[in-house]
Chain A
Amino acid sequence: MSKNKSTAVATDPKDAVTLKGNRMKHLRQNCPWLLMLVPAVLVVFLFNYLPIYGVLIAFQDFMPGDPILSPLTRWVGFQNFTRFFQDVQFWPLMSNTFLLCILGFIIGFPLPIIIALSLNALKSRKTAKVIQTIFTAPHFISLVVLVGMLTLFFGRYGLVNNIIAGIGGERVSYFLESGAFRPMYILSSNWQDFGWSAIIYIAALANVDPGLHEAAILDGASRFQRVIHVDLPAIMPMVSVMLIMSIGGLMGVGYEKALLMQTDGNLGVSELIATYVYKQGLTGVPDQAYATAIGLFNSIINVVLLIIANTTSKKFSETSLF
């Protein structure tokens, strides 16, 4: 009957006894639930919260092996951050990361929507199902294999070059060309994920009341007009939610893939903030405090972007994540 929380509120002093009894009852009921939460709380504490605590080293003169907090800790304030801002790599890293994300977003955001609308407009449900299955399959290919496939197609001795050589052209290793990195990165990401990203829209479209389509047909709307006036409005709320999420993740581009695609030849465009963090912090002579500061800077940009996107969306469309 009521969806309210069933926690009781005392309005009368003589009810206090009852409420105390309620609390005892709740405690007994809650014990198993709290126990069920323990493993998850522990895992998140270990692998998510301890690292957040570890972020403190970004403000320290830290050597690997030092305790995070001790009387000997040398605090250096924002020195690591200012060092990054003055780093010659700062602007290239920022623009590489930003460009890769924004270009990926421009293609990667609308494509799944178009695919979903297009699949939904098919007359045969069965065909739509089969095509959808095909479209989602590449999602399950691992990044290593995906990049491996890229080398097999665009590497010096890959398919494209084999054909070029076959017709007498010069072999070009696209992996060593900085101009080829972004197209390869973005197109392969879309190849892998557009079908998967479309599922959420397809599900929303499946819930559109068929009566709306019938009404539109009686009003004389063509199939294309129905896509624009019936289907598209139906998925708009989902589109806004996805938009907020992707803007929030704009600077959090998949560095694992970029790392796999990096070569000396394309480093000028393929070095991203996150890959730089990895290299500074874990390879060569590690400078962990500096790398942590750069990583923290990146996370803060992400959070800020997410908050901006969320508040903007709340203001204009009444959809928001939180």
Chain B
Amino acid sequence: MSEVLLKSLKKVYEGNVTAVHDVNLKIKDKEFIVLVGPSGCGKSTTLRMVAGLEDISGGELYIDGKLCNNVAPKDRDIAMVFQSYALYPHMTVYENMAFALKLKKVPKPEIDKKVREVAQILDITQYLERKPKALSGGQRQRVAIGRAMVRDPKVFLMDEPLSNLDAKLRNQMRAEIIKLRHRINTTFMYVTHDQTEAMTLGDRIVIMKDGFVNQIGSPEDVFDRPVNLFVAGFIGMPVMNFFDHCKLLLENGVYYAQIRNAKFRLDDFQQKALKQNGQKPCDIVAGIRPQHISVGSGQLEALVEVNEMLGSEVNLHTRSDDDEVVMVIPTVDLTVDVSMGSRVKFDTKPRLIQLFDKESGNNLIWYDKASADACSPVCKAYPFS
């Protein structure tokens, strides 16, 4: 069991700058947690507090049930992969990997066995006698992971480990980390600013902004059930379309979303949730993912300004009144003219419309329940999971 528990963890720098506000997070044994957010959101600081590289200003940190606030990094039984790899330049790959074990006074034959075993897994056996300088970026990355692996840590921390690699290598290493993860079978905490990494690697994703946790949930949760405008805009490529000046209407006990002059009768689960909350009609921002738009017919109309043909799909940058609307249309579904300058009618399914309170930016349906616990009863009722 190596569970990590962050109990209202706080980080305040000198001059009262709060980098991390009350982070509550329970990482289950062998879970892969990804912290994601724009730069400066506090994700790295949170990870570094778990590592013991930053002081904890408030709250409690438990690793494997033990209060670790003031335990030195070396006694926390963690390993970390740094963005810069942080390989010791004067040591060979072998020495780099053996360093931690040597400090723990592990007998030499055992160190040797462990290092070679890990090198085998990572396919770096032939580089063991080289210095890091003589390795490529991808190889250094493997050594950095290997150095962490030989220790069999309770928690495996990774701080943007792939951001120094080029796009192709990054994809490759991402796949390898997924494979490794099942071999190593330990608890992972992974920090990144790249949503693709977050979505593909994480069992659960923690989305942070300005030192606050916005949402904790599975990749499906954060994609399909964003709790607020920030999460909705942060996750998903291209970015979700937001329609300003929309209204939530309640007519004869039935909720409608009004976008411009188009009225969408909301789906049953939305009706139910809104009713439960006793939601009153109000101004809203409606969010529709570019992938959730169909063209050819519908109540809304837009002018195509740019048409990007990608082969299997076409990206349309359009203007609908004041709003810029991006649409991703699979080429097989294309039935109408979408060349530049043409006008297209478009539509979406009511259950795919995200409803955000105009004032707070919170999702009218997912907000409260989702943030309290990653898996709320409502989530389970969701028709697509």
Q: Is A in direct contact with B (CB under 8 Å) within the complex?
A: yes
Give the Cβ gap from B80 to chain A, nearest Cβ, in Å.
Answer: 14
Give bound CA distance, A8 to B10, whole Å: 10
**Complex contact A18–B70 (CB within 8 A):** yes
* Docked pose: A146 CA to B48 CA in angstroms: 57
Contact in complex: A12, B72 (CB < 8 Å): no
Identify the stretch in A21-29, A38-46, A165-173 within 8 Å (CB) of chain B at 4 or more residues: A21-29
Q: How many of chain A's residues have a CB under 8 angstroms from any CB in B?
A: 21
Q: Is A86 part of the contact surface with B, judged by Cβ < 8 Å?
A: no
Partner of A12, one of B11, B58, B60: B58
| Residues of A contacting B382 in the complex (Cβ-Cβ under 8 angstroms) | none
Contact of A25 among B13, B19, B57, B72 (CB under 8 A): B72
Instruction: Give A14 Cβ to nearest chain B Cβ, in Å.
Output: 8
Assess whether B55 is interfacial by the CB under 8 Å rule: yes
- Distance A193 CA – B69 CA, assembled complex (angstroms): 56
Whether, in the assembled complex, B311 has its beta carbon less than 8 Å from a beta carbon of chain A, the answer is no
Q: Which chain B positions have C-beta within 8 A of A12?
A: 10, 58
As a 0/1 sequence over residues 170 to 201 of chain A, the CB contacts with chain B under 8 angstroms (1 = contact) are 00000000000000000000000000000000
The answer, yes or no, to whether A4 is at the interface (CB within 8 Å) is yes
Q: How far is the CA of A10 from the CA of B48 in the complex (A)?
A: 19
| Alpha-carbon distance between A137 and B252 when the two chains are bound, in angstroms | 95
Considering the complex, which residues of chain A in the window 1-51 have a beta carbon less than 8 Å from any beta carbon of chain B?
1-2, 4-12, 14-15, 18-19, 21-22, 24-26, 28
Contact B72 A8 (CB under 8 A): no
User: In the complex, how many angstroms separate the beta carbon of A18 from the nearest chain B beta carbon?
Assistant: 5
Contact between A4 and B48, CB atoms less than 8 A apart: no
Supposing A9-B16, A15-B57 touch, asked if A25 and B70 sit within 8 A by C-beta, the answer is yes
A7 with B14: CB separation less than 8 A: yes
Interface centre among A1, A26, A28 (most CB of B within 10 A): A1
Most buried by A among B39, B44, B57: B57
**Shortest distance in angstroms between B159's beta carbon and chain A's nearest beta carbon?**
9
A22, B70: Cβ atoms under 8 Å? yes
The one of B14, B60, B72 in contact with A9, judged by C-beta atoms closer than 8 angstroms, is B14
Cβ-defined contact, A6 with B69, below 8 A: no
Q: How far does the Cβ of A186 sit from chain B's closest Cβ, in whole Å?
A: 47
What is the CA–CA distance of A25 and B15 in the complex, to the nearest angstrom? 21
CB distance B14 to A4 under 8 Å? yes
Beta-carbon contacts of B34-77 to A below 8 Å, as 1s and 0s?
00000110001100100000111111100000000110100000
CB-CB under 8 A from A4, the residues of chain B are 13-15, 17
Residues of B with C-beta under 8 A to A19 = 57
Looking at the assembled complex, report how far the CB atom of B324 sits from the nearest CB atom of chain A, in whole angstroms.
33
Interface 0/1 of B12-26, CB less than 8 Å to A? 111111110000000
The reply to whether A21 and B70 form a contact with Cβ atoms under 8 Å apart is: yes
**Inter-chain contact A9/B55, CB cutoff 8 Å:** no
Q: Which of B12, B39, B44 has the most CB of A within 10 A?
A: B12
Q: Select one of B14, B17, B57, B72 contacting A18, CB under 8 A.
A: B57
Nearest CB of chain B from residue A23's CB, rounded to whole Å: 9
The complex places the Cα of A302 from the Cα of B57 at a distance, in Å, of: 46
Q: Output the nearest chain A residue to B43 by Cβ-Cβ distance.
A: A1
- Give complex CA distance A233, B58 in Å: 49
Residues of B within 8 A of A (CB): 10-19, 39-40, 44-45, 48, 54-60, 69-70, 72
The 4 closest A-B pairs by CB, nearest first: A21-B70, A15-B58, A1-B44, A8-B57
* Contacts from A to B (Cβ < 8 Å): 1-2, 4-12, 14-15, 18-19, 21-22, 24-26, 28
